Amino acid sequence: MNGATYRAYHFFWRGLDLLFPPACGGCGQPGARWCARCDAKAKRLAPPWCPSCGMPSPGGEICSRCREHPPALQAFRSWAFFDGPVRNALHRIKYRRDIALADALTLQMLKTYRAHLAWQVDAVLPVPLSRQRLQERGYNQAALFALPLALALGTSYRPAALRRVRHTRSQVDLSWEQRQENVAGAFIAAPDDVSGKTILLVDDVITTGATLNACASALRSAGARTVYAFSVARTPLRSAAP
């Protein structure tokens, strides 16, 4: 792992585990925040995949959706499918305030990043929440992954570089077309922070990529050179969003 700052961050959470013995975010068994059995059940995404959206693709060919609707992102990837223990763990983080669990899942993301991606980026940004959603939840779950990723990669963490300027309705139960329309123009980026830079966007779950695409469009409009995205999990398109 790169950087003393990231090691300090990681050991902070491990220290809390000594004071408050954890339970697995995937199955609830005591002993670890993410147990070996749940890790074995996680359905990881790995090549061959679509070079654009990262969904499984025989031969590594670009998928039909990306051919028909090329994203503003250079590429987006995820560690695992949003299913089983991974889904349980992300729900604990998002709805039950188990923020320490994010560090355990970030370790898994880093393994995928180093094994298959190794993008050279200038800054890491979390997908921002609206002010209303942030007040309701109290924290941005995407930031719980973006910060340690930035520390581990030894790059800049700039959460203020991208803002959500319009509160949008939940994407749950919306069609692909409705999702695109729902988030269009909902974000604005700061040119001073992103112009000429390669950006890594981080989120908890990707479904259709509509939110990430809207973020990437805002970043490109502000002068970003390249935009990648990485999430903990990916929902198969046939499934409902979280």
pLDDT 10s digit of each residue in the chain, 242 long? 457 888 899 889 888 888 889 999 999 999 999 999 999 999 999 999 999 999 999 999 999 989 999 999 999 999 999 999 999 999 999 999 999 999 999 999 999 999 999 899 999 999 999 888 899 999 999 999 999 999 999 999 999 999 998 877 666 666 667 776 777 788 999 999 999 999 999 999 998 889 999 999 999 999 999 999 999 999 986 543 33
CATH 3.40.50.2020 correct for 17-234: yes
Segments making up each domain of the chain, as ranges: 17-234
Predicted local distance difference test score (pLDDT) of residue 239: 42
CA distance 63 to 67: 6
pTM of the model: 0.91
3-state helix, strand, coil in the chain (%, to 5): 45, 15, 40
34-55: burial string, b at 16+ Cβ within 10 Å, e else: bbeebbeebeebeeebbebbbb
Cβ pair 167, 151 in contact under 8 A: no
Angle at 200 between CA 195 and CA 201, to 5 degrees: 105
